[in-house]
Structure 1
Amino acid sequence: MKYLVALAFLAILASLGSALFFMLRDGRNGQPKTSRMARALGFRVGFSILIFLCILLAWKLGYIHPTGINAGQ
């Protein structure tokens, strides 16, 4: 599970990097830069949701446990 979370986090960083690259390019090759940048940012949102769901699933299955102060104290 932690490998999947790490892979999703790397995918988030790669998607942000590609969005930055497409933002800085000047729309050559006939395709507007905004559509490619928006697609890369959309993938980032999808990967963020995936990492949240993986953490939630790991908590529900008992792989990870919350720490901190109990609510009753």
Structure 2
Amino acid sequence: MLKIAAVLFLFFILSSLASALYYMIKDKGQGTRAVKSLTLRISLSVLLFILLMAGTYFGFIPLGH
């Protein structure tokens, strides 16, 4: 279950990055949509990091020793 969630997070992070690139090209640097997409990407990345750290701490993700 956690692997699927991590893959979905990575998919949404990459799609947000792609949409930011699209908005940068389309708006020619005049709009705020690229900034919003990059902010969403950073937020998703931080949330994924926190979830992975919490999963490791609570034992949902084994360390492989």
Matching residue's letter, 1:13: L
Q: Comparing both structures, which one devotes a greater share of its residues to helix? A: 2
CA distances 1:4-57 after superposition (whole Å, capped 9, x unpaired): 111111110000000000000136xxxx42x10000000000100111011011
> Would you say 1:40 and 2:41 are equivalent positions?
no
Counterpart Cα distance in 2 of 1:42 and 1:26? 17
Instruction: State whether structure 2 residue 3 is matched by structure 1 residue 6.
Output: no
> How does 1:1-73 map onto structure 2 within 5 Å?
1-26=2-27, 32-33=30-31, 35-67=32-64
User: Distance in 2 between the 1:15 and 1:3 partners?
Assistant: 18
What is the root-mean-square deviation in Å for CA atoms of aligned residues?
A: 1.6
Q: With structure 2 as the length reference, what TM-score do the two structures score?
A: 0.83
Q: Which runs of 5+ in 2 are unaligned?
A: none
**Which runs of 5 or more residues in structure 1 are unaligned?**
69-73
Structure 1-normalised TM-score? 0.75
* CA drift at 1:65: 2.9
Of structures 1 and 2, the one with the larger relative CO (CA 8 A, separation 6+) is: 1
Code of the residue aligned with 2:11 in structure 1: it is L
Identity of aligned residues (%): 30
> For residues 11 and 42 of structure 1, what CA distance do their matches in structure 2 show?
13
